[in-house]
Amino acid sequence: MIGGGVLAAVFNLNHPSHVVHWHFIQLSVSNIVVIGVMLAIFALAILLPFPGARRRAQGRR
């Protein structure tokens, strides 16, 4: 319960959600954050080298 109390102090959820509204698109801020994190992880998964990938590729040659 102590952890829950600390988290509750950091994230006050006792209010209606914040919503971004643009034409017919309506998204909560929390959903936009999740979509942003997914896009960031997708980009990092493509850009970051996988451990041992270069060694394996050299070993093949």
Partner 1 sequence: MGALPPEKLLPDSQPTYVASWIYVFGVATIASLMVIIGSGVILSLKGPAWWHFTGIGHFFNSIHLWSVELFFFFMVIHLWGKYWMAAWRGGRSRVWVTGAITFIVAVPAALTGYVSQQNFDAQWIATQAKDGLNSAGVGAFFNVTNFGQMYSYHVLLLPAAVIVLVIAHVLLVRKHGVVPPFELDERLASSPTAPDAAAPASGAQRASS
Q: Which residues bind partner 1 (CB under 8 A)?
A: 34, 38, 41-42, 44-46, 48, 50, 52-53, 56-57, 60-61
| Beta carbons of 47 and 38 less than 8 angstroms apart | no
Q: Per DSSP, what are the bridge partners of residue 21?
A: 26
Residue 21: CB minimum distance to partner 1, A: 17
Kindly tell me which of 4 and 9 has the beta carbon lying closer to partner 1. 4
Residue 46: CB minimum distance to partner 1, A: 6
Between CA 43 and CA 35 the distance in angstroms is: 12
